[in-house]
Homo-oligomer: A and B are copies of this chain.
Amino acid sequence: MSYITLPNPSLPGISGLLNYNKTTAQPLLNLAEVFLRGESTLSSGERELIAAHVSYLNNCHFCHTSHAAAAVAHLNCDISVMDDIKKNFVETPISPKLRALLDIAGKVQKGGKQVLPEDIAIAREAGASDRELHDTVLISAAFCMFNRYVDGLGTWAPQEASAYLDRGPRIRDEGYANFDPIAYIKG
């Protein structure tokens, strides 16, 4: 039960909020489209993993599971990744560069000033470029926004991962800019 009256209370997480106010929804959707699917040397799958990682650290079940499902779809990997994100990637084979970028994303989640020159140095040593450092910080920061929007207004979210899994390929294929909250729930 969200803290404000939504036109369609059955829409979970951010989808109910995006359906509440179209004027504020579109800039959020455009931002997700550019940050997660726009031009970058990080793949959309890698960027969705960063989004899911930060959302888990922020304890936002809806965003964690939605973006983990998108990462699974993009990377065509096993759904066990969804749970492995919660364990900070102990089983998933990820590159040293992505490992370092995920660590920076985790620092950003705690606060911007938590990122130290040595964190940047480790990522550079692993091959991260300026643009990849930029995009990692920006995506992590953006999910500190999305997560707070979703939870700060008390939205509900399905608990079971199966409710999110089939959304992953749709996010991968259709993107965010033209996201239709009603169609999302209809499947």
Which positions in A face B, CB cutoff 8 Å? 3-5, 17, 20-21, 23-24, 26-28, 30-31, 33-35, 38-39, 58-60, 104, 107-108, 111-115, 117, 120, 130-131, 133-135, 137-138, 140-142, 144-154
B108 with A152: CB separation less than 8 A? yes
B113 with A151: CB separation less than 8 A? yes
Contacts of A108 in B (CB 8 A): 148, 152
> How far, in whole Å, are A144 and B54 apart by their CA atoms in the complex?
13
B24 with A27: CB separation less than 8 A? no
Contacts of A117 in B (CB 8 A): 3, 154
B24 with A130: CB separation less than 8 A? no
Q: Which of B4, B133, B153 contacts A3 (CB 8 A)?
A: B133
Can you list 17 A-B pairs with a CB-CB distance of less than 8 A?
A: A3-B120, A17-B134, A23-B39, A24-B35, A24-B135, A24-B138, A26-B34, A27-B27, A27-B33, A113-B152, A114-B152, A115-B153, A115-B154, A133-B153, A140-B152, A141-B148, A144-B148
